[in-house]
Chains A and B, each alone.
Chain A
Amino acid sequence: MESIILKANNITKYFNQPEPFQVLRGISIGINKGEFVSIIGKSGSGKTTLLYILATLDTMYTGNLEINGISLTGKDVNHLAKFRNKHVGFVFQFHYLLQDFSCLKNVMIPARKLNKYPIVEIEEKAYQLLTMLDIKEQALKPAGKLSGGQQQRVAIARALINEPAIIMTDEPTGNLDSKNSEAIGDIFKHLTREFGQTVIAVTHNTDFARNSDRVLEMLDGNIFN
């Protein structure tokens, strides 16, 4: 029995610059809990734009978006920030860790923001995640001192700290060699299998996509396939 965790209905978006252009043409998708979905497609097909809409970061669209049964279309940005904090984890192409902070602190930040548990508990949880991702030794180093693959693992740990409903990731392997790419793909797969985590990944990497449960291919603002 599968339950729908994310439902998008007729998502349409225009770019006005440099000239009016319809980037998404009424996309409707449903994603199940525990599913590992890849979105692939050429540059300019609209896949990244779609991801940021699904992630509630981009609010300039028409259509309907629901995550965990909560409608998110037309909500105010501060409300959405709170929602993301709790329910959405992010992993970006260029790691995007706070360079001045240690890895451990980077992982802890979303939980500190959520402010639901005492700091000692958050720290323990962060250590657990870093241990699971095999970079516990780097925990106290400044984030900027780590290699690309290591930084991406820290970013994944950060995405997991608040036990979000969905992890959204934009080109998670775009900056990594094939060995590290494969490792990151395995981690996502492991998360969906062992923890029932849902993952939506935008990627160029076909090996990475092949490793996922479902591949959505985009072309000119439509999903075909």
Chain B
Amino acid sequence: MNFKINAEIAYTHVTSRMKQSIIAALGVAFGISMYVFINGLLKGSNDYFDKKALANLPEVRIFNDGNTNSLNKITNGISIQNPRQILDMIKKDSGVKAEAALVTSNIIYRNDSLQSIGTIYGVNILNEDKMFDIKSIMSKGKIEDLLKIKNSILIGSGIASKLNVNVNDKILVTSANGESIQMIVAGIFETGIKRLDRTKSYASISNVQYLLHQGSTYITEIDFNLKDLNKAPKYAEKYARLTGYSTEDWMSVNQTIGAGMAIRNDIALAMLITILIVAGFGIYNILNMTIYEKMKDIAILKATGFDKKDILQIFITEALMIGLSGGMAGIILGYIVSYCVSLIPVRLAHINNLPFDFHLMNFILGFLFGTITAFFAGYFPAKRASLVDPVQIIRS
């Protein structure tokens, strides 16, 4: 085979029917751009909603539900006996992204005669921020103030409006066993989930330990997030085995979220296949037409010594020329369309603009799929061309 002359013949065929070639390439380009656009939007909104849904949910929780099979003797209600040891173990785990220890208590918030019940989370706010990006949900105040101001608290926006308090106001926090602390509101956050905004607050671990009449080693829960959130069930199982405490992963707690993700991914895949088949037919069509028109060329090439492989190569090269240029145009067009649409303001709930996923992989895959489709769409007509009997054409 002699690739150079075959490529030159393919190039001449494609360029001498420029109009049809461009139309076929446009078919591919539209297909690929739709793929890039829809996949970007689906993946972007998937990620966005998953992030929202999981924003306040640790991927894996370790806690003591009271009937543990731990070898550690339970002496202290529902606490975790050896939090330092477990935290060290988690910190060393290469699959873990962030971890936090916490202690929670049900409490009553009071401002004079106004009151509200809820749950206070005793946390190291910087670790908690690594887990849940608290900074992004702060509507007033700064999370660092929780460390700077003694006996301070971050409260949900629902609590703030119910108690009619603002940053730097004082509220009284009372636990079930009657212990109270006067606390300064250091900040107000809004998660977007009303139930949480009406009940949740953050304070230092020692404040909550004091409210519960417990010492400085008292920890009720250890949470951690993973580099790959899909591995959560595996990690939950692993740490249940290692620590002897109960564990929970986000998937088993929120099975609908996982199912929703899987279904949306299936929809995206079905859409991709449909789009590519349509684009593939465009190439198939144009190539079939070219071969029909170029029957004489094929006969003459075969008569002058081009073999089956040469003919196959010529027409597959033509398909790939159309496919590659269409694919290239497609990812550029897809990027432009995605970018323009991502600028349109929508203002739904907490979304300002449609969330898009602009990962390079999305574009590479679109291009790759387009090229593969072009190859197969070209292969069958090319195969037919390679089997043309030159005598039949020349004699007819």
Contact = CB atoms under 8 A, between A and B. Distances in A.
Interface of A: 48, 52, 55, 57-58, 77-78, 81-86, 90, 92, 96-101, 109-110, 112-115, 158, 170
A48 B395 contact: yes
A85 B300 CA distance: 11
A77 B307 contact: yes
B2 to A, nearest CB: 5
Given A101-B12, A112-B4, A113-B5, A96 B394 contact: yes
Interface in B107-144: none
B304 A90 contact: yes
A90 B303 contact: yes
Contacts of A99: 297
Contacts of A113: 2, 5, 304-306, 310
B383 interface: no
B16 interface: yes
Nearest to B15: A100
Contacts of B297: 98-99
Contacts of B301: 98, 109
B305 A58 contact: no
Contact of B302 (A52, A58, A81, A115): A81
B329 interface: no
A81 B305 contact: yes
A52 B303 CA distance: 10
A99 B295 CA distance: 12
Interface of B: 2, 4-5, 8-9, 12-13, 16, 296-297, 299-310, 390-391, 394-395
Contact of A98 (B300, B307, B309): B300
A106 to B, nearest CB: 9
A113 B394 CA distance: 21
A114 B305 contact: yes
A81 B300 contact: no
B296 A81 contact: no
* Majority-rule SS of B interface residues: helix
A98 B305 CA distance: 14
A177 to B, nearest CB: 23
Contacts of A90: 300, 303-304
B205 to A, nearest CB: 79
A110 B307 contact: no
In this complex, which of B301, B303, B310 has the most chain A Cβ atoms within 10 angstroms of its Cβ? B303
13 contacts: A82-B307, A84-B304, A84-B305, A85-B304, A90-B303, A92-B300, A100-B12, A110-B304, A110-B305, A112-B2, A112-B5, A112-B8, A170-B394
Contacts of A101: 12
A100 B307 contact: no
A92 B394 CA distance: 8
A76 to B, nearest CB: 9
Contacts of A78: 307-309
A92 B390 CA distance: 12
A96 B300 contact: yes
Contact of A100 (B2, B16, B308, B391): B16
Contact of B304 (A58, A100, A115, A158): A158
B391 A52 contact: yes
In this complex, which of A82, A109, A112, A113 has the most chain B Cβ atoms within 10 angstroms of its Cβ? A113
B394 A77 contact: no
A97 to B, nearest CB: 8
Contacts of A58: 391
Contacts of A100: 12-13, 16
B391 to A, nearest CB: 5
Contacts of B2: 112-113, 115
Nearest to A86: B305
A109 B391 contact: no
A96 B296 CA distance: 7
Nearest to B5: A112
A170 to B, nearest CB: 7
A109 B308 CA distance: 16
B303 A109 contact: no
Nearest to B296: A96
B141 to A, nearest CB: 74
A51 to B, nearest CB: 10
Contacts of A170: 394
Contacts of A97: 300
Contacts of B391: 52, 57-58
Contact of A84 (B8, B303, B309, B395): B303
A118 B12 CA distance: 21
Contacts of B16: 100
A86 to B, nearest CB: 7
A36 to B, nearest CB: 21
A1 B9 CA distance: 44
A101 B297 CA distance: 11
Contacts of B390: 57
B294 to A, nearest CB: 9
Nearest to A168: B303
A55 B8 CA distance: 27
A114 B310 CA distance: 12
B42 to A, nearest CB: 43
A99 B309 CA distance: 22
In this complex, which of B8, B12, B13, B304 has the most chain A Cβ atoms within 10 angstroms of its Cβ? B304
B303 to A, nearest CB: 5
Contacts of A85: 304-306
Nearest to B310: A113
Contacts of B8: 112
A7 B307 CA distance: 25
